[in-house]
Amino acid sequence: MGSDRSAATRRRLCLAAEALVARSGLEAVTLRTVAAAAGQRNTAAVSYHFGSLKNLLRAVVEMRVLDEEPERRRLVELLTDDPTKLSTVDAWRCIMRPILNLPDEQAPHAYARFLVHMSTAGLLSDPFDAGVERPGAPMMKLLLTRLNAGLAHLPYELARARVSLCALTFWNAIILHDERALGAAGIALPVLTADVERMVETILREPAAELVGPGADAGARRASTPPR
């Protein structure tokens, strides 16, 4: 019973932090504001459960990775019987799309807003790292492994930069849609995100510019062509 109560408190703190960041940015997150938003009288609740604010923010990501796991599995099963053969783009889609179906317990697409703030602050180094163990989320690990393998035609840092930029584009598209700030009246969110995915497909498959410049030979161009 105590363990269930502790898990429920941790989740409330994570959701409170997610909502605060989504609404007001990272500067709004303190031990006091998170505890108050989560209905905790003790301002030391965050320290007790997470140790630090940074650990709390990481815990939000890990909580949502677990929340999204069933939807990721469902999407993969719709595409293939063998997840190890997923294309790079399909792996990316299965990683990103579940955010659209998260329960918004605090605010519409609060997690997308949270991720944008975290990413622009340079605090999202782990989510695209296939080497990070995520107990309870084997599908996420498999998809990240496929994504990393599919980007092997790119220098490592460029591959990570492209994934981050594609993710920011996807998250921001959701936010702009929610705020009706796209100048396209009546566009449905599934239509918008599908359009973003088509752009992402081009970005992920494009070879590195230095490999296809005037000085590159034909062999380098062939070697730089990403697998489909």
Measuring CA to CA, which residue among 101, 75, 119, 69 is closest to residue 190?
Answer: 101
Residue 210: pLDDT band with limits 50, 70, 90: low
Residue 186: pLDDT band with limits 50, 70, 90: confident
Q: What is the structure's pLDDT at 105?
A: 64
Measuring CA to CA, which residue among 60, 52, 55, 58 is closest to residue 12?
Answer: 60
> Distance between CA atoms of 12 and 102, rounded to whole angstroms?
16
Inter-residue contact 170 to 176 (CB < 8 Å): no
Share of the chain above pLDDT 70, in %: 86
Q: 8-31 in b/e burial notation, b at 16+ Cβ within 10 A?
A: ebbbbbbbbbbbbbbeeebebbeb
- Global pTM reads 0.85
Higher pLDDT, 2 or 196: 196
Q: What is the structure's pLDDT at 125?
A: 67
Q: Tell whether the model's pLDDT for residue 3 goes beyond 90.
A: no
For the residues 103-125, what does the mean pLDDT come to? 85
Q: What is the structure's pLDDT at 126?
A: 60
Cα-Cα-Cα-Cα dihedral sign, residues 139, 102, 118, 171: positive
> Distance between CA atoms of 200 and 59, rounded to whole angstroms?
28
Instruction: Give the pair of three-digit tokens for residue 183.
Output: 């100048």
Residue 181 DSSP class = -
Q: 182-194 in b/e burial notation, b at 16+ Cβ within 10 A?
A: eeeeeeeeeebbe
Instruction: Give the pair of three-digit tokens for residue 173.
Output: 């598209």
**Per-residue pLDDT reduced to its tens digit, 29-87:** 999 999 999 999 888 899 999 999 999 999 999 999 999 999 999 999 999 999 999 99
Which residue ranges form the domains of the chain, and what is each CATH number? 2-224 (1.10.357.10)
For the residues 13-32, what does the mean pLDDT come to? 93
Average pLDDT, rounded, for the chain: 86
Q: What is the structure's pLDDT at 96?
A: 95
Cα-Cα-Cα-Cα dihedral sign, residues 213, 217, 220, 221: positive
